[in-house]
Amino acid sequence: MSGMYRNRLKGGRAQKHTRIRGGIQLMSAVFWNGYGAGFAGGKIFTGKTKALCVPVLNCYSCPGALGACPIGALQTVLGGIGGKFPFYVLGLLMLFGVLLGRLVCGFLCPFGFVQDLLYRLPVKKLSVPKKLDIPLRRLKYGILLVFVILLPLFGADAMGVIPPYFCKYICPAGTLEGALPLMLTNQALRVLAGALFRWKLLVMLLVLLVSSSVSRFFCRYLCPLGAFYSLFHKFGLYQMEFVKEKCIGCEKCEQVCPMAISVREDPNSLECIRCGKCKAVCPTYAIDAGFAKPKGEENASDKAISPE
């Protein structure tokens, strides 16, 4: 058995991957929310970059946010006066969808990072039964269609105003990143907080609580942005690859998957967030990931590395 193969079995590469990925997630969260003065003063950043959408679920109302959330921007444009088509927002989302797919969720999303940290807490972990898991995973597509697209297009409230429904009634990331920091630093907002804020707070607390026991709970079942990016998985440039001939059936890849997917059956599942944990723990290099190669092109690493 080669020394390289023995090192893999010791888990050193998996630990290194965890450190690197965690560092990228932290830097990404800081980068999207780099306006430190906003947190100190309780004011939302209003600079020119706020007109630009970031590729992740990051609340516009976060005091430190340097850009706009694409889901919030999409609802705002769809619900705006004049019937404008959201070319810019959809174009940006499609670009990231084609280039990276849900790798954005696995490496760049601040709320995904929060869920990963919560799942490290020493509490009982839960496995969602398949009969419940499969229909629940479809829920995020319903949220995307109804709350992000249809309601902003057609659902004016009693005052004739079309609010961003997902942001207003569901988004726990917005409550955590936006409403709470503003409430803590702005007494006037605390006085005005009513039933709607209490509802959003309840939703956030439930999502965070369950996320400590069910890995990536919000990503699996509720996130409309993840639902949108998943639509590009089958033909996007970044792809996962499973080489059946190299697999020894240890099932380590599926044991560490935060999205609980069948890695060996469908490595490019719509649910995969491209976190790379399966690749990092595979002792036989049966899993690879990268930008799509032309058909017939051989993977040099597959040829160069063969466990003894």
Domains of the chain, each with CATH number or no CATH: 3-12+237-304 (3.30.70), 28-230 (no CATH)
Give the pTM.
Answer: 0.88
Q: Is the dihedral of CA 192, 195, 199, 201 positive or negative?
A: positive
DSSP 56: S
Give tens-digit pLDDT for 228-267.
999 998 889 999 999 999 999 999 999 999 999 999 999 9
Q: What band does 303 get if pLDDT is binned at 50, 70 and 90?
A: very low
Q: Which of 7, 18, 61 is nearest to 175 (CA)?
A: 61
Mean pLDDT (the chain, rounded): 87
Q: What band does 132 get if pLDDT is binned at 50, 70 and 90?
A: very high
Q: What band does 305 get if pLDDT is binned at 50, 70 and 90?
A: very low
Q: What band does 301 get if pLDDT is binned at 50, 70 and 90?
A: very low
- 289's CB contacts (< 8 A; 6+ apart) are 238, 239, 240, 241, 274, 276, 279
102-105 long-range contacts, Cβ below 8 Å, gap at least 24?
A: 102/226, 102/229, 102/230, 102/233, 102/272, 102/273, 102/274, 103/238, 103/273, 103/274, 104/55, 104/56, 104/229, 105/56, 105/219, 105/223, 105/225, 105/226, 105/229, 105/273, 105/274
Q: Are 144 and 230 in contact (CB under 8 A)?
A: no
